[in-house]
Amino acid sequence: MTDPYWNHNVQHHPAVLAAVPDGCRTALDAGCGDGLLARKLAARSASVTGVDRSPEMIELARGHAGVPGNVTYLEADYLADGALPESAYDSSARSPWCTTRRSRRRSPASPGSPRPAVVW
C-alpha cells in the first residue's frame, strides 16, 4: 500500500508491520485516527480493530474507500474499563501520543503473545 501522506507516525509503519507476529489472528490499532495503519495491518492479521475516541476520525476511517473487510473501527477510549476486551489481541500498536502511565497498566494484548505491543 502506498502511503497517501507522510507524518511522524507514518514513518514508523514499516517497523510496526514487521513486528506483527506471523499467524496473527487479532490486531489492535489504538488511536487509529483515519485508519491508515489499521488498513495496512489487515494484510498481516485475520482481524483488525481500529479504535479512536474521536467521532470525526472514526467517521473518516469508516468512510475510506479501501477499508478491507477484516477491519472494524470502534469509537471508544481504549483506556476506559470495558471499552475493549482485555487480552483479546495478538498484537497491538499505539503511537506515543496514546502512551500514558495508565495505558501501561492494562494491555489489550493476549498473554503470551510473541510481540504484544508496539509503541513507536
Residue type, position 13, single letter: H
Q: Walk me through the domains of the chain, giving residue ranges and CATH numbers.
A: 10-108 (3.40.50.150)
Interior/surface letters 4-20, b for 16+ CB within 10 angstroms, e for the rest: eeeeebeebbeebbebb
* Contact present, 71 and 38 (Cβ < 8 Å): yes
pTM, to two decimals? 0.77
Can you give the pLDDT of all 120 residues of the chain as single tens digits? 777 777 777 888 898 899 888 999 999 999 999 999 999 999 999 999 999 999 999 999 999 998 999 999 999 988 787 788 777 888 887 765 444 434 444 455 554 444 444 544
Report which DSSP code applies to 62: H
